[in-house]
Amino acid sequence: MRVYLDNAASSVLDPEVLEYMLPWYREFHGNPSSVHYHGRNLRSAIEQSRKKIAELTGSSPGEIFFTSGGTEADNMAIRSTVEGLGIRHIVSTRIEHHAVGHCIELLEEKGHAKVTWLDVDSRGHIDLKELREVLKSSPRSLVCLMHANNEIGTMLDLEAVGRICREFDAVYHSDTVQTMGNVKYDTGNLPVDFLTASAHKFYGPKGIGFLYIRKGLKIPPLILGGGQERNMRAGTENVPAIAGMAFALEKCIRNLEEKNEKLWKLKLFLKTELEARIPGVEFNGETAKDNSLVTVLNTFFPIDSADSLLLMNLDIAGISCSGGSACTSGSVKGSHVLAGIGCSAKRSANSVRFSFGVQNTAEELEFTVGKLEEIMKVKTPV
């Protein structure tokens, strides 16, 4: 059996999404910027997709901008806000995805912005009182706080953070790459200015995403060239991927409750079985249904070795998962998120992120726990 439990790194492309995309590759050629028949067909597909995504997120079509994925959307929101709105103070944490963290670090290094790095507790939560105090002394800041952490699954109270931002006239960017498709957003009633999304996290294709920019926020483009995306993002649009992303999001939102219930059951099953059968396992971050991603379970295994090679043993046993974010898997660097919530290097090295998708089954999880029992027997427990 080969089991894929790395869905937070990239989900499985939904076969119906693939079918939906194929005609755009096979039959509709041309460039969407061309004004002839072929171009107009493609333009119409782009605008229909934009409208669909706007409806699904409670936005207006003018607030949705297509990007090459979550990384570009995060970069655009952060770098363009500092450049275009004259904001010189950023508030964030050390456990954001690198698409956010590295952008902020660069702006800090270049002296373009000062940064306040908020503390996070051992489960990955910020202290809202601290955020309020920081914004009180530095109003009109840019606040970058992700809705859900991709490695440990901990979720933030987006509305509470947004309300504090509004109180102090701060611009609020939230990386929603892991929650888009798992949460129904209604941006019209949400105190948030930027949301980011990546289709390959919700059963859509890779290399496509979008940035929601609240109406009235005038930021400059990040990528210059042609006049695509109303002069906000140059480059010929990837029409099949845009259409596929809108369809994938629609499917997720249409089946939201049923889908999330299935994912929650899988997560609970794995958690319960691990606790019952592997002595000493612990979980990093939040694990409850109401404040963690139903898709992520970050687990510490008590092995007496600095580098357990746990992921490699799991891979050999037929199970694909990761030790942190996809970007850190395969790299010798430890997880900045686990370090950020205070895990030792040893705990970090012995932690595995299991992440679930709708195609996973209880049998696959049973197989995984069985293999872990075998692996743990040959390792020396602490």
| Chain contacts with ligand PLP (rule: CB under 6 A) | 69-71, 74, 97, 99, 146, 150, 175, 177-178, 198, 209, 325-326
The minimum distance between CB 46 and ligand PLP, in angstroms, equals 19
The minimum distance between CB 132 and ligand PLP, in angstroms, equals 25
Nearer residue to ligand PLP within complex by CB, 128 or 326? 326
The minimum distance between CB 69 and ligand PLP, in angstroms, equals 3
Determine the Cα–Cα distance for residues 201 and 14; give it in Å rounded to an integer: 11
User: Of residues 144, 252, 327, 343, which has the active-site annotation?
Assistant: 327
What are the helix (H) ranges across the chain? 15-26, 37-57, 70-85, 98-109, 128-137, 158-167, 228-231, 239-254, 256-277, 310-316, 336-340, 345-349, 362-378
Determine the Cα–Cα distance for residues 270 and 134; give it in Å rounded to an integer: 40
Annotated catalytic, 165? no
Nearer residue to ligand PLP within complex by CB, 173 or 267? 173
The minimum distance between CB 39 and ligand PLP, in angstroms, equals 27
Determine the Cα–Cα distance for residues 11 and 355; give it in Å rounded to an integer: 9
Nearer residue to ligand PLP within complex by CB, 162 or 209? 209
The minimum distance between CB 149 and ligand PLP, in angstroms, equals 7
Q: Are strands 194-198 and 209-213 parallel, antiparallel or unpaired?
A: antiparallel
Number of CB atoms found within 10 A of residue 58's CB: 15
Q: Which tokens in the block code for residue 158?
A: 């987006």
If we measure between CA atoms, which residue out of 97, 101, 162, 99 comes closest to residue 135?
A: 162
Strand partners, 336: none
Nearer residue to ligand PLP within complex by CB, 69 or 124? 69
The minimum distance between CB 212 and ligand PLP, in angstroms, equals 14
Nearer residue to ligand PLP within complex by CB, 57 or 150? 150
Strand partners, 6: 355
If we measure between CA atoms, which residue out of 377, 285, 269 comes closest to residue 340?
A: 285
Half-sphere exposure of 216 (CA within 13 A, CB side): 5
Nearer residue to ligand PLP within complex by CB, 69 or 334? 69
Residue type, 210: F
Nearer residue to ligand PLP within complex by CB, 113 or 146? 146
Q: What is the dihedral of CA 72, 162, 187, 208, to 10 degrees?
A: 10
3-state class of 276 per DSSP? helix
Determine the Cα–Cα distance for residues 81 and 101; give it in Å rounded to an integer: 15
Which residue shows structure tokens 């050629």? 29
The minimum distance between CB 303 and ligand PLP, in angstroms, equals 26
Q: Which tokens in the block code for residue 88?
A: 């010189």
Which residues participate in catalysis according to the annotation?
327
